[in-house]
Structure 1
Amino acid sequence: MIIYRYSVADIEREREKRMSESAYRVETTSRLAQWRIENLASCTYRKSDPFKIGKWNWHLSVEKNRILSIKLYPEVSNITRENPPIASFIIRVISSVGDRKCLVHPEVTDKQLKNNDDFVWAIEVPLTGKFIIDVEFLDLKTSSPNGAEPCSIWSEGLTQRQSTGTALSSLGRMLSERIHTDIVINASDGSIPAHRAVLASRSPVFRSMFSHDLKEKEMSAVNISDMSIEACQAFLSYLYGNIENEQFLTHRLPLLRAADKYDISDLKEACHESLLEDIDTRNVLERLQNASLYQLPKLKTSCMRYLVKFSKIYDIRDDFNAFIQCADRELIAEIFNDVLATWKGF
């Protein structure tokens, strides 16, 4: 039997090693990066470990002389040299003690970043103690090789790529030109002719409707009264394979409800993945509620992490107070358990 013996000094060295490693680690979610600075008193310069947002690895650095300078830049690589990111972002410095004082740089829009001098934020306000550098990426674009307008990497969605090819184009024409339609979809404020065979092939719920002696089979109509005509058109466009990305993004939540109701797993997963990409303070509570309602574990985890790990719960106190008055009790308990666990570990 091997007996391991550790001294207090060994344990303290291991603790200091881990703290030193964490001092350079940047925590990230889909479009948000946070670097926690514990103490700059012992050094005048610090550079973070690389962290990935979009296609690129990034670095943050801080330099303290008479003023504090913060830099954000992509890591040097072939992809950076050949196609440097064109970034839109908001960067903040948040005091993590006391009243959580926050300094916000004016929004940066469509700035090409190639090296560590392309974005420098000089802060003259003295900062002491612990603080957080918070970078929220609003968009990342790449230059088009043919000289066209730069294209957002987040608009190149799976849904648009799935809507290609001759067969899908033909299905789309069947819907848009109403070729041999044999059923009507009644939305809350209008109707759209469609095809039983297409609906039945895409949804087991529709297949069951049309295979049994239900009113939908007899009346040749399906009532979807909880969707607007625009959302219903987006729903049918997805089923026929010709949905546009902007149409999909506009109607993600009603599409999610329809996917769950009619058991269309690929649409549900497409909505799930898309909703992960742009969580922010304006939508995080609604998305958390939907993640809980429709059992979307990755979205739920990301929303909880955004609120608790990244401390965004403090930025939406009034909305959160209203949210906890009507949200599911189990969900509220999970949030408070995460808050308590984070406080203990900080």
Structure 2
Amino acid sequence: LFNSPLYSDVIFMVQGSVLPAHRAVLVARCDVMAAMFSGKYAEARSRVVPIHGVSSDTFLSFLEYLYTDSCCPASVLQAMAVLVCAEMYQVKRLQHLCEVCVCAYLQSMPSRELASTGISVIRLLRRAKCHNAEQLYIWLLHFIANNYLIFSHKPDFLELSGQPFYPPSVQNDK
């Protein structure tokens, strides 16, 4: 049934893309969707639901997870985008899977590729902290420390100077 109009009872409009879905699946897998489709919100009465702040590819990956319980983002950046979407909809297991994907992608990169990649690990660290991806945040700190010679020459490395390196949950307690 994933991404199929057959028996769909809701359509998500995401960046001009039409993504059909089935409320029963969404409500069973996501508490935020369950609340969204309850009688109190406009989405409960609407067949077409606009989604903002997320790309259609990212939201499609999110829906795929809700239907299949699996997620295979094609890149670090896609994994981070799905992680942000998972946090938005409070789907913790998907968020954790995306954290693992980011770690696996970065770990598989040879040092030479890591040095020349357009991916900013420092920016990933900041996003992990911002989106409560605690395990990813801790792993990225360790990864940066282990690859200090590579990252210390990056312009955004200096932005880390003077910042406390508490995991997100510890920082929130302070």
Scaled by the length of structure 2, what TM-score is found? 0.76
Check whether the contact 1:234–1:251 (CA below 8 A) recurs between aligned residues. no
**Among 9, 12, 22, which residue is 1:195 paired with?**
22
Counterpart secondary structure, 2:104: coil
CA distance in 2 between partners of 1:320 and 1:249 (Å):
19
Deviation at 1:231, TM superposition (A): 1.8
**Among 97, 101, 121, which residue is 1:284 paired with?**
121
Tell me: CA distance 1:211–1:248, structure 2 relative to 1, closer, same or farther (3 Å).
Answer: farther
Check whether the contact 2:3–2:19 (CA below 8 A) recurs between aligned residues. no
Matched, 1:254 2:81: yes
Larger Rg: 1
Give the AA of the match of 1:191.
Answer: V
Deviation at 1:219, TM superposition (A): 1.6
Counterpart secondary structure, 2:11: strand
Matched, 1:240 2:67: yes
1:269 maps to 96
What are the ranges of 5 or more consecutive residues in structure 1 without an aligned counterpart? Answer: 1-173, 338-346
Which consecutive segments of 4 or more residues in structure 1 shift more than 6 A? none
Matched, 1:215 2:42: yes
CA distance in 1 between partners of 2:76 and 2:2 (Å):
21
Scaled by the length of structure 1, what TM-score is found? 0.40
> How many aligned residue pairs are there?
155
Which structure shows the higher helix fraction? 2
**Among 163, 168, 171, which residue is 1:333 paired with?**
163
1:308 maps to 145
Deviation at 1:307, TM superposition (A): 2.4
1:341 maps to none
CA distance in 2 between partners of 1:242 and 1:266 (Å):
9
1:111 maps to none
Of all paired residues, the percent bearing the same amino acid is 21
Counterpart secondary structure, 2:13: strand
Give the AA of the match of 1:239.
Answer: L
What are the ranges of 5 or more consecutive residues in structure 2 without an aligned counterpart? Answer: 107-113, 167-174
- Which structure is higher in RCO with an 8 Å CA cutoff and minimum separation 6? 2
Aligned-CA RMSD value? 2.6
2:111 maps to none
- Give CA-to-partner distance per residue, 1:87-119, whole Å, 9 cap, x none: xxxxxxxxxxxxxxxxxxxxxxxxxxxxxxxxx
Tell me: CA distance 1:202–1:223, structure 2 relative to 1, closer, same or farther (3 Å).
Answer: same
Which structure shows the higher strand fraction? 1
Deviation at 1:247, TM superposition (A): 4.5
CA distance in 1 between partners of 2:103 and 2:142 (Å):
12
